[in-house]
Amino acid sequence: MATRIAQRREQSYVAGEWLESENAISVSDLADGGTFAQVAAADRSVAEAALEAAHEIKPELRETTVVERAQWCEEIAAGIREREEELTEVIVREAGKPISSARGEVEQAATRFDRAAEEARNIVSKGEYREGSTEGHEGWQAIVKHEPIGSVLCIAPYNYPLATTALQAAPALAAGNSVVLKPASKTPISAAILSTVIADVDGIPDGAFNFVPGEASEIGDVLAGDDRINAIAMTGSSGAGNHIARESGMVNLHMELGGNAPAIVFEDADLADVAGSCAKGSFKYAGQRCSAISRVIAHESIHDDLVDLIEGQMDAWQAGDLFDEDTAFGPLISEEQADWVETLVDDAVEKGADLIRGGSRRAPEGVPEELGDQFFEPTLLANVPYDARIVDEEQFGPVAAITTFEDEDEALEIANGSDLALDASVFTSDHSRAMSVADRVDAGAVRINGPPSHGLGDIPFGGNKDSGIGREGLDASIHEMMRKKSIVL
């Protein structure tokens, strides 16, 4: 187990200054128990100051060149890598993520800043030239160029507190926008360290980046409802996203929200590969991922075989010391989240699902008693009835719920029956069927013969229905965070 880092106290960062607040948010240590850090809880006055700072700096940022902004991003990436060990330990403690995953998240964040620099250079170098093409406009000439959208409010989630923050902030800065970052209240420390990295980069004007940790109930509406914000990039629940959409008014909304990814498995699929993909898709980071496989929709002829194969994968997904390189599984973010997962599992069993394995809270040896109720076993449910809540609702927990279908149309009816439509997977050896089902399933992204994955942001991703607005990804996000101006010559 790692040596516990000293108790730390982080501050808000507004207009180039570090600010204290009367109140503080305590951050739980999901590795050793207790509290390992505090962060100043920004109140309304701090939020207002951040909004004004971000607004006032817009004209200056608009005059910066893409070369300057790309250099900022590259220096930020270097700064993240210099603090890799510190950031890794913080992510383990605040997010409850195994150290191997936490270390990977740090490198993902750094790479996203590097890639944002590349994508920004590429986008601004591709302006358009147009000529008039309608009667009466013959001979007209125009150029179409990109310019920053203004100020971007970044609202980050708890499950990838550094990597997702980078996916929002890197394209915003690379595009020439000012940023107001509000991290998740449960995981604000990695974002605080990122803020110090950004503050140390020469050339970034004061006010271009602002860090305002605080409770959503205190400052959420203040930030989202302010007309000085021009775009909102958010990753979070569908309920929170709908609330922000109602508050925000006429801004560019860029939201990746809740998921309930189905894995549709046909009888001709390679079931050994399917089992490995579904286990990883369901249990990685205890299922606390919007893209997690939450329901496996299997052809009725292979249901039992697939259940046996997935059960055979489950020994590899055991909880342990988060600082052990071999640990694959940790606690849920809170007891309330464990309560929610338990509710969905109990509902499925009450309605007739077979509980094959798991289904209860069980902490590994050595875990502090106060964290015990946050560990939920990897759970396998079979023959899940269609009316079970887990078929349609987001669980954010380590549960593989397997239900059956008779034919392709029924599989699609089940998959498309949820209000969530972020990701999906299709498993089959028939290419034509794979493409047909991928076209018909309602999801922002579909993976063929593998669990949902979007890389570092090279592939645009986002949701339909209640799963979001717009598409994320470094290239896609930069386009969302810039606007086009036509100049008629």
Asked if residue 325 belongs to a domain, the reply is yes
Q: What region, left, alpha or beta, does residue 198 occupy, with left being phi > 0 and alpha being psi -120 to 50 degrees?
A: alpha
Same domain, 161 and 85: yes
Residues in the chain: 489
Q: Which residues neighbour 423 within 8 Å (Cβ) at sequence distance 6 or greater?
A: 259, 261, 290, 291, 443, 444, 445, 446, 447, 452, 461, 463
Asked if residue 23 belongs to a domain, the reply is yes
Give the amino acid at 438. Answer: A
Same domain, 439 and 354: yes
Same domain, 477 and 433: no
Catalytic site residue 342? no
% of the chain exceeding 90 in pLDDT: 91
Q: What is the model's pLDDT at position 454?
A: 85
Asked if residue 432 belongs to a domain, the reply is yes
Q: What is the SS3 string spanning 138-159?
A: CCCEEEEEEEECCEEEEECCCC
Catalytic residue among 10, 256, 311, 394: 256
Q: Which helix (H) or strand (E) holds 275?
A: helix 271-283
- Residue 404, domain extent: 261-456
If you average pLDDT over residues 145-155, what whole number do you get?
A: 96
Same domain, 36 and 137: yes
Same domain, 181 and 329: no
Q: Is the pLDDT confidence value at 155 over 80?
A: yes
Give the amino acid at 412. Answer: L
Structure tokens of 410?
């029924």
CATH number, residue 435? 3.40.309.10
Helix axes 99-124, 84-95, angle to 10 degrees: 120
Q: What is the model's pLDDT at position 4?
A: 55
User: 184: pLDDT confidence band, cut at 50, 70 and 90?
Assistant: very high
User: 457: pLDDT confidence band, cut at 50, 70 and 90?
Assistant: confident
226-230 long-range CB contacts below 8 Å, 24 or more apart?
226/51, 228/51, 228/52, 228/54, 228/55, 228/151, 229/51, 229/54, 229/150, 229/151, 229/152, 229/153, 229/180, 230/149, 230/150, 230/151, 230/152, 230/177
Distance CA 291, CA 455 (A): 12
CATH number, residue 57? 3.40.605.10
pLDDT tens-digit map of 402-412 = 999 999 999 99
Q: Which helix (H) or strand (E) holds 262?
A: strand 261-265
Q: What is the model's pLDDT at position 466?
A: 96
Among the residue ranges 20-24, 51-55, 61-65, the one predicted with the least confidence is: 20-24
Q: Which residues neighbour 93 within 8 Å (Cβ) at sequence distance 6 or greater?
A: 5, 27, 29, 30, 31, 32, 36, 37, 189
- Supply φ then ψ for residue 376, to 5 degrees: -115, 130
User: 2: pLDDT confidence band, cut at 50, 70 and 90?
Assistant: low
Buried b (16+ CB within 10 A) or exposed e, 9-28: ebbbbbbeeebebeebbebb
Asked if residue 2 belongs to a domain, the reply is no
Q: What is the model's pLDDT at position 7?
A: 73
Distance CA 73, CA 179 (A): 13
- Supply φ then ψ for residue 58, to 5 degrees: -55, -50
pLDDT tens-digit map of 234-293 = 999 999 999 999 999 899 999 999 999 999 999 999 999 999 999 999 999 999 999 999
Distance CA 404, CA 296 (A): 8
If you average pLDDT over residues 200-223, what whole number do you get?
A: 97
Same domain, 324 and 400: yes
Q: What is the model's pLDDT at position 125?
A: 77
pLDDT tens-digit map of 114-132 = 999 999 998 877 888 999 9
Same domain, 301 and 210: no
Q: What is the model's pLDDT at position 165?
A: 98
Asked if residue 38 belongs to a domain, the reply is yes
Asked if residue 19 belongs to a domain, the reply is yes
Distance CA 34, CA 31 (A): 9
Counts for the chain of helices (H) and strands (E), in that order: 15, 23
Q: Please state, as a whole number, how many other Cβ atoms lie within 10 Å of the Cβ of residue 29.
A: 21
Same domain, 292 and 272: yes
Same domain, 97 and 238: yes
Give the amino acid at 222. Answer: V
Asked if residue 1 belongs to a domain, the reply is no
Q: Is the pLDDT confidence value at 474 over 90?
A: no
Same domain, 191 and 332: no
Structure tokens of 310?
């997935």
* Strands of 24-28's sheet in order across: 8-10, 35-40, 24-28
Same domain, 334 and 407: yes
Same domain, 277 and 387: yes
Q: What is the model's pLDDT at position 459?
A: 87
Asked if residue 83 belongs to a domain, the reply is yes
Q: Are 135 and 127 in contact (CB under 8 A)?
A: no
Distance CA 423, CA 257 (A): 11
- Average pLDDT score, the chain: 95
Distances from the Cα of 212 to the Cαs of 17, 153, 376, 413, 466, in angstroms?
12, 10, 32, 43, 27
The pTM (predicted TM-score) of the whole model is 0.95
Number of domains in the chain: 2
Among the residue ranges 79-83, 122-126, 214-218, 395-399, the one predicted with the least confidence is: 122-126
